[in-house]
Amino acid sequence: MSFNTKSSALLRCWGSRFWRRRRRQQLCPQEGPFWSCFGGARPRPILDMSYSRHFLDFQGSSIPSSMKKLVVTKLSSNFREAVALRQDAPVPLPGDADLLVRNRFVGINASDINYSAGRYDTSVKPPFDVGFEGIGDVVALGLSASARYTVGQAVAYMTPGSFAEYTVVPAKQAVLLPSVKPEFLTLMVSGTTAYISLKELGQLSEGKKVLVTAASGGTGQFAVQLSKKAKCHVIGTCSSDEKAGFLKSIGCDHPINYKTENVGAVIKRDYPEGMDVVYESVGGKMFDLAVNSLATKGRLIVIGFISGYQNPTGLQPVKAEMLPAKLLKKSASIRGFFLNHYLSEYKIAMEHLLTMYESGELVCEVDLGDKSPEGKFTGLESVFRAVDYMYMGKNIGKIVVELPNSVNSKL
């Protein structure tokens, strides 16, 4: 970013504002807060008090002092009970190495309710922010962050607190994008989870048989496509003929609608030697089926168990008592995958996925809720509907909520 005349003027303005405030502190009586001497209006909260270290309003835009955001107020696996919409949360200012992003699209993940239930970090107590990923425009940034970014650029990020109109994002965690498109958002968590887990744990090679459960969902769609690019034979489970049609369109060799077919019977009949790799995200009975479907030296990759997330324990019962014997009999293995443990691989994965999408090699299916009972998911208020929609198993692809421009902002 060039340091122009307008930048210098802004910094001088904020510097003088800072010293005026310091002077007011000296003039005010000690018995009350200093703003009580000047009409009683409390000043806007600032995260970093070094005003001169921030660039704001380069394009004459107006960043409001307050915003909407979702906050976990009670630990619960019922998202509607756990989360409240705040109408007047202060818009934060970025620190020296941060960006302030006005969110345009935010992603919905099955694990959002694990987060609202406090399962990831038991030491964190409400209230706390929620939402894992977003995409939007840079509207403010710190001095160090300006070495790489400028106001107006499109970025995506994976940072807690995305269910808000504005989010502070560490610049080193942002991904620079050519434009703000919801398709890019599908790659941040869902795409990278599939890419890294299959690369690190799948040992895919030509001719291997891969079973993907919940194959038409946000992560499943990428597991299908990446397995096909490794020249594997892919079987995908889904819950409707429409989803089966989508799976065929992205290369799935054998979609199985579990509402109309017995998945276990189909696999036993058509693939008697079993599955070389199972990419599993459902849990419960589907997990048991996955274990029973493994081939000799087969690998079961567990990236989630959505069927149990809404339970108080977060789990559905599985037949674990026979698990050691079943694995031993087939020299098979089960590996868990949690994206946060593979962040060293994240940047390379994102770069590769972005290249594949932009070259037309990868389909990034987005579900904005157009077919949901109340229509498209628009605004933070619709995040609740979007989570419900996901747990009803209605989505095809990644569920994304669009955030319209704030009425208080010209951005």
Q: How much is the pLDDT for 339? A: 97
What is the predicted pLDDT for the residue at 12? 40
pLDDT at site 63: 86
Q: What is the pLDDT of residues 281-313, one digit of tens each?
A: 999 999 999 999 999 999 999 999 999 999 888
CA distances (Å), 353 to each of 159, 249, 252, in order? Answer: 19, 19, 19
- At 29 the pLDDT is 41
Cα 123 to Cα 40, 95, 119, 310, distances in angstroms: 37, 25, 10, 21
Spatial contact of 326 and 298, defined as CB atoms under 8 Å apart: no
Residue 41 has a pLDDT of 40
- Name all domains of the chain by residue range, CATH numbers in brackets: 64-180+365-402 (3.90.180.10), 187-341 (3.40.50.720)
Q: 3-state class of 93 per DSSP?
A: coil
> pLDDT tens, 148-174?
999 999 999 999 999 999 999 999 999
Low-confidence ranges of the chain (pLDDT < 50): 1-60, 407-411
Residue 251 Rama label (left phi>0; alpha psi -120 to 50; beta): left
